[in-house]
Amino acid sequence: MFFNSWDNIYRTVIVGICSYLLLILVLRISGKRTLSKMNAFDLIVTVALGSTLATILLNKKVALVEGFTAFCVLIGLQYLVAWTSVHSKTVSKLIKSNPTLLYYKGSYLHDEMKKERVLEVEILQAARSQGLSSLEQAEAVVLESDGSFSVIKKSDKEGSSTLQNISKK
């Protein structure tokens, strides 16, 4: 239960180092998009890569070359879908969500908040994170496609607002 053999330990260390280096290599080759801020699709690919890495490390029946092939397939598909979404509005709409306005000029947009499952307290937290003492100082709050909140502060000059990005926690 606590220890099977030194061979298992050696295999885990060697395969772990090799698969880690191969994963880094494939991620670097695939470009910045693979490592960028994640939308839902990117999150799924990242979780799948982690699961693949764990399987390579712990399952003796999966050879390193098979795991490397799985890395390449997942990252290749992610690259293909990202490339296609740049060149096709239809695919882009399927893959990426649009930003959603949640608060505007003193009013919560409750229908949008309900659709996005966001509470008023989360919008207030976003404003406080930007140093605002109340939402009266905010022109708008937007839920971005990556899950972060953007707060557009009211400014002293009409027509000019400052956009501040806030990570959703």
pLDDT digits (tens, 9 = 90+) for 87-119: 999 988 887 778 999 999 999 999 999 999 999
Q: Are 135 and 106 in contact (CB under 8 A)?
A: yes
How far apart are alpha carbons 135 and 48 in whole angstroms? 39
Residue 36 pLDDT grade (very low, low, confident, very high; cuts 50, 70, 90): low
141: which 2 tokens? 């709050």
* Contact criterion met (CB below 8 Å) for 167 and 157: no
pLDDT digits (tens, 9 = 90+) for 123-152: 999 999 999 999 999 999 999 887 889 999
pLDDT number for residue 167: 43
Q: Which fold has domain 98-153?
A: CRO Repressor (3.30.240)
Stated pTM of the model: 0.60
Residue positions counted in the chain: 169
C-alpha distances in Å from residue 15, one per residue of 9, 38, 41, 159? 10, 28, 28, 58
**Angstrom distance (rounded) from CA 106 to CA 140:** 8
